[in-house]
Amino acid sequence: MARSTVKFKESVAAYEQLSKQIAARRFAPVYLLMGEESFFIDRLCEQLSSTILNEAERSFNQITLYGKESDAGTVVNYCRQMPMMGSYEVIIVKEAQQMRDLDKLSYYTSKPSSTTILVVCHKEKSVDRRSAFYKSTAEKGVVFESVRPRDYEIGPWLTEYIASKGCSITPKALAMLTDHLGTDISKISNELTKLLVSLPEGTRSITDAQIEANVGISKDFNNFELCKAVASKDIVRSLAIADHFAANPKDNPLLLTIMALFGKFREIFIVNYLMWQARHQLKPFPGDPELMSIVKTGNIYALKELKQIAPQWDNRKVFNILGLLREYDAKSKGVNSGGASDGELLRELLLKIFMQ
């Protein structure tokens, strides 16, 4: 299957545009909602299922099928039915990736009915673009591809998402969420929904204390604080956080910690290299907007802190540290770890970083 070239920001833009079209009742005869990120697929499916028909019409004209329990013939037969007391027959196929003969839906999607709206939700991966089903749907209807964000893309998106809920989030609280939950938008959205409901009435800013109280992430012992302590060369604080992680390994996976440290030292390396170019090659040092794009951060406060910390590190040492982090990334996965626990590996890694 051809590799997707769709980027996360393009996926978000397409989602927003499609959501507006649905809200304006500009419907397509066929929707293929596909890709690895289930959040946008679920949101669009829910919007279609609640918008096309009113509550009374849904009882007669809206049918939900599941890929594992259905075949293409069954879906096509439902799609060929005429609506009862309504404008449309709505057929929703969930978990379509489990349908063995999915491509046979092309017999219908190549010539869809004007009185039926077919919604196909295909999660975990995208449909093969070379298939007859994909090509006919792209020609006659709408194809939406839901792409998972990279680690540096989740923060800016999450900030905007929280703003759409009428709230803001502090830089530390944002880092705590993304470091702990990764790039799983569905999981983050669920935690945020519970958090927003639990906030005191009138609260308009999410803080690290609220994350600690409602999500269960320590505001003092987390990857954000560890990266800050290590970058500041605070060995006592760094080892104290490492000890806390060792005592709570399920809440603090070593792999995520190494990824966070790698990201921090990667930023330091880039800033130092740009400073070196400015001094020795007389190239202009990037302004904050350009620098934010280069180091892939949407947080101006974190950027200012980074510019203060970076000169404290020699880039030759930073290069060695990046090598150490790659080595311990492999050890965290069981390669040449010598049977050491995650806590022991982290403490050993930190001591080697501070010895550089």
Choosing from 123, 146, 169, the residue where a domain stops is 146
What's residue 214's pLDDT? 81
- pLDDT confidence of residue 188: 86
Cβ atoms of residues 193 and 161 within 8 Å: no
Question: CB–CB of 152/296 below 8 Å?
Answer: yes
What value does the mean pLDDT of the chain take?
91
Query: Does 103 share its domain with 162?
Result: no
The reported pTM is 0.76
Overall number of domains in the chain: 3
**Is the Cβ–Cβ distance between 91 and 75 less than 8 Å?**
yes
Structural domain range at position 90: 8-146
Q: Say which CATH number the domain at 91 has.
A: 3.40.50.300
CA distance 247 to 96: 42
Binning pLDDT at 50, 70 and 90, where does residue 1 land?
A: very low
Q: What is the pLDDT of residue 336?
A: 84
User: Is position 3 within any domain?
Assistant: no
For residues 56 and 81, membership in a common domain is answered with yes
**pLDDT computed for residue 180 by the predictor:** 77
pLDDT cut 90: percent of the chain above it: 63
In angstroms, the Cα distances linking 129 to 5, 6, 8, 157 are 12, 13, 18, 27
Domain boundary among 161, 190, 215: 215
* 85 and 177 assigned to the same domain: no
